[in-house]
Amino acid sequence: MFISREYDYAVRVLRALADGGHFAVSEICRRENIPLAYSYKILKKLEKAAFVKGKRGAEGGYRLAAPLSSVTLYDIYLAVEGKIYINECLREGYTCPNNEDGQGCAVHKALCGLQNEIALLLKKSSLAEILSLKK
């Protein structure tokens, strides 16, 4: 599945933090209907990508570390899923049995174009624009 549940939850975590507050993980999960089991893994990836900042302890929680005007759906995808591949044949290092000339078959070329278009669409708008938080 191209848009995984983890990716969807990552976008929703950022939406929960969009108002600039500092929230406990349980509050983020409550606001966005995210199972607690998923949240720590996702928050760790978002923190590694410098989108959120966590604080431990009794007064702990998470807040945004980057303005949502500088974060796109593509950026979130890279942070959570890694590089985009819509088909196995597009993965680096994959050897396709239908690739006799090293240039890729017609299907590969079409999928490559589609993958590039998807990446462009994901880069098109910031999360702030998508959430109508333009400043």
90-126 tens-digit pLDDT = 777 777 777 666 666 788 788 889 989 999 999 999 9
Tokens 């593509």, residue? 74
Q: What is the mean pLDDT of the chain?
A: 88
- Spatial separation of the C-alpha atoms in residues 51 and 66, rounded to whole Å: 5
Q: Which residue has the tokens 């899923």?
A: 81
Does residue 55 sit in helix, strand or coil? strand
Class of the CATH-defined domain 5-130: mainly alpha
The pTM of this model reads 0.86
- Measured CA to CA, the distance from residue 134 to residue 69 in angstroms comes to 7
What is the residue extent of each domain of the chain? Answer: 5-130
